[in-house]
A and B are shown apart, each in its own frame.
Chain A
């Protein structure tokens, strides 16, 4: 099987979908003649292959980029636009939250907005808090959007293909560190359904629900705890909206313990949603309180030791898990 980084897997999905369907076009800042001439980046080489009609290098105009997607999608095109860094989503938020998410409802179901907004996210790149900020909970709180956050290159490829073929606005959030971590990716066309979580590792004693980059920390912690006799089940959500409640609940009913792990800050984070879900629907199966392992409620700092402190890791996860026994 080919080994690709998440960025390369996204690149392959884009290439295959653009070849498959003439209606697919991409737009964003630097998606064509890119400032990122790194072949591991998502849109590398697509301008050369598909030309400037279908690969639109845009001005630095996040609201216009998102609006372009809204208007083009209602006319039957399949835009895949890019917001370079997650904090810049806030400038595009009107188009995404007030328009992409709501216009179908406001049309009484008559119009469709089959667009994809790819957003790069995550700490660990040494860029500080105006480039690094995980805002998935903001998007997930807007009905009308679907929210996808893959944690492996293989999932990224299959989920992005599904996102492009989905008739709804899909916010597809890619962690930047994962752009540099290779993993196995199946060749050719395959899709992974949006809204289905994946048990990345079965276990008996505790459920860790996580997504995106934190999957790596979950694996590291699980490996070490395994040697200490604690069997960890890792549930990778992959999609936040729609949420695969059944897989989460089934896992917690089996293990009786839950830790939610995410890189985003704690207050109002999506981890609270998972905790509330389990408290509402599987409380009687819990053998211990629900734990959240998250970043502290601070902006992402720059200095390496500070940035490392910000991000949850296998150590903080292991500590939380051990407190449950």
Chain B
């Protein structure tokens, strides 16, 4: 009974806050709605026995990515943008096409049947600890993707640095 209630609450808040987030005119308001959505997604992960991912969701999405967005919104002077219309001209047609696609995708989600069962049961994860299990699998089976991930995270670091330096020299010269 309690998991159903919690799922209903989280799903309702996630859907409402995401729809409110993409329809607000003011960018700061919509970012705060999206923050609410991220926090409730973390709650949904807790419901699915993924504590480590819930923590990462709070730290990375709500703590880092959203703060980056907020910094950029505060950095740019967007006073006159909030007074104009926010949607493109022919947005109704795109909305109808997306709703048609949504119908078929939901039909697919409800007809899905699982055939495969792995061997990481809830009891094993509870006995071993969720973070430890995740770490063992990550550093044994997925070591090479993990290293590639480190390299991919190095590329934005260098790219952002180069972009910032080039902007400074363009301003002086």
Partners in one complex: no
**Chain B residues close to A by CB (< 8 Å):** none
